[in-house]
Amino acid sequence: MAKELALHEKLEVHELLTLKTSCATKAATMLELVKDEKLKKLIEEDLDHSSKAIEELTSLLK
């Protein structure tokens, strides 16, 4: 059975989750403006990685 996170650990995970969500939102917004295909591909990959990280961080808080 997994141990509970301490309060300070939960707060740090929440802070990371907030940062990752903010970065993903900005990347999704910028994706609409990007014309270069290589850059667009990099941003899409970053969004995939970010969404996985957001899911993992969210699961830690449940």
The mean per-residue pLDDT over the stretch 19-34 comes to: 96
15-52 burial, b for 16+ CB within 10 Å, e for fewer? eebeebbeebeebeeeeeeeeeeeeeeebeeebeebee
Average pLDDT over residues 5-27: 96
Quickly state the pLDDT bin for 40 (edges 50, 70, 90).
Answer: very high
Q: 15 vs 1, 50, 56, 58, CA distance in Å?
A: 25, 15, 14, 11
Query: What's the confidence (pLDDT) of residue 1?
Result: 38
For the segment 43-51, the average pLDDT, to the nearest whole number, is: 97
What are the extents of the domains in the chain? 8-61
